[in-house]
Structure 1
Amino acid sequence: MRAHLYGEAVPPELLVALSGLGLGLSLIVAIGSQNAFVLRQGLRRERVALVVLVCVVSDVVLIGAGVAGAGAAVESRPWLLDVVRWAGAAFLTTYGLMAAWRAWRPKALDPSVEAVPSSVRAVVGTALALTWLNPHVYLDTVVLLGSIAQSHPGREWWFAGGAAVGSVVWFVALGFGARALRPVFARPGAWRVLDAVIAVVMVGLAIMLLVGN
């Protein structure tokens, strides 16, 4: 059956794609380690395009894997998630402590002092780690999204395409839209608050991973 919008028939493929878009955005918009990192890079205007590209490509790969059936493999090997959980908790704790250290040292956040840009390797490595060392990304993106995609037989990849578009829209908006907040972060105090929030988020997520939530 075709839905109708303003008297015009809406192709079912479009409805499935919109469903994937909605679910993809609902899963990705919540505050998390990856979003916090993209926001900070956007505010610093440092390798934003590269960070956005890494996050988008990673999401597309994970979405594709879920639709292709990798979710069943993940569910059948819980020990893989345990390995990712412990590695992710260690990385998040380290990153959180680094953010706390920046917030604790106001002079390091003085906008009049030109910061040394992070290397491409460091930025890419951090973006990849914050994405791939998060077990929830496998449960949400690969297992959940992949399972729901299978409920649209014959149109699974339309659903995946919609979810992928959601990732592109979100990361581009977050990374490049962060510059609109630059006036707020012209003061060192604002950076201290941001890094303090990032530290709390990172360490909080690490604790959640360790306790199995």
Structure 2
Amino acid sequence: MLTALAGLGLGLSLIVAIGAQNVFVLRQGIRREHVLAVVIICALSDAALIAAGVAGLGFVLSAAPWLVVVARWAGALFLLTYGVLAARRAWRGGEELDVDATDAASAGSRATGGATATLTRSRLAPVILTTLALTWLNPHVYLDTVLMLGSIAATHGDERWLFAAGAMAASLLWFTALGFGARYLGRWLRTPRSWRILDAVIAVVMITIAISLVLPVLGG
């Protein structure tokens, strides 16, 4: 139990931070758009990366550091693109969240057996692709989740998988709380101006992270 709690604590310390993935999950939660799919993808991806780290993938990445460099450049390009799109939304404006209408749509979907959900189903694919890209093109996830967490888990010997289970639980708890808890912020995001501010913050975070990813490479 102590080993699992140690994994839970370390997992939370690595996940609970302002990052591209968390910002995206937060935005989807506020919009109440495909939140379950986003949470599941994030949690399962983290679980797979944690398992890979504990199983020894960290040694492979240590032996072939160019793999992390490739992920670094690909992730920076994707984050820069996403940040520019967010900045464009912030500049143009026009987006708002009608909480009452969203609740009514959800109720209508349940009453009609999912007919309302069909209207947004076509938007699920890009959300899934974006979630996967923000997760798997992030070099920090390989350095922190695979290398660091995998190395620390190895110090627990035969109990390393209990440590991994605790870290996986931390990921699931965090993304569930972030995704489904974000909807309570909707009352402050009823106006286009509020969304322009949110998208401006998202743009700054995404572009800043993109720059921070390539600076070590350029400086080295």
TM-score normalised by the chain length of structure 1? 0.89
**Aligned to 1:31, what secondary structure does the other structure show?**
coil
The one-character-per-residue Cα deviations of 1:51-98 (angstroms, maximum 9, x if unpaired) are 000000000000000000110101111111111111111100000001
Residue 42 of structure 2: aligned partner: 55
2:28 to 30, 36, 41: 41
Deviation of the 1:187 alpha carbon: 1.8
Residue identity matched to 1:191: W
Q: Give the aligned partner of residue 145 of structure 1.
A: 149
Confirm whether residue 102 of structure 1 aligns to residue 106 of structure 2.
no
CA distance in 2, matches of 1:191, 1:18: 38
Q: Does 1:186 align with 2:194?
A: no
Structure 2 distance, partners of 1:49, 1:209, is: 29
Give the equivalent residue in structure 2 for 1:3. none
Please report how far the alpha carbon of residue 15 of structure 1 lies from its aligned counterpart in structure 2 after TM superposition.
0.3
Task: Please identify which structure carries the higher helix content.
Answer: 2
Identity of aligned residues (%): 59
Gaps of 5+ in 1: 1-13
Using the alignment, how far apart are the partners of 1:201 and 1:212 within structure 2?
18
Q: CA deviation at 1:111?
A: 3.8
**Residue identity in the other structure for 1:147:** S
SS at match of 1:30: coil
Output the CA distance in 1 between the equivalents of 2:180 and 2:147: 30
Distance in 1 separating the partners of 2:183 and 2:96: 18
Does the CA-based 8 Å contact 2:11-2:167 persist in structure 1?
Answer: yes
User: Partner of 2:216 in structure 1?
Assistant: 212
Pick which of 167-176 and 186-195 moved more.
186-195
1:123 is matched with which residue? Answer: 127
Partners in 2 of 1:194 and 1:27 — Cα distance? 24
Partner letter of residue 29 of structure 1? V
The aligned length equals 198
The corresponding residue for 1:6 is none
- Tell me by how many angstroms 1:41 deviates: 0.3
Distance 1:119 1:41 in 2: 12
Asked if 1:163 is matched to 2:164, the reply is: no
Please report the RMSD computed on the Cα atoms of aligned residues, expressed in angstroms: 1.6
Q: Which consecutive unaligned segments of at least 5 residues does structure 2 have?
A: 103-118
Instruction: Report the residue type matching 2:76 in the other structure.
Output: A
Q: Which of 31, 46, 51 matches 2:18?
A: 31
| Structure 1 residue runs of 4 or more that deviate by more than 4 Å after TM superposition | 114-118
Tell me how far 1:212 sits from its aligned partner. 2.0
Q: Shift in Å at residue 106 of structure 1?
A: 1.8
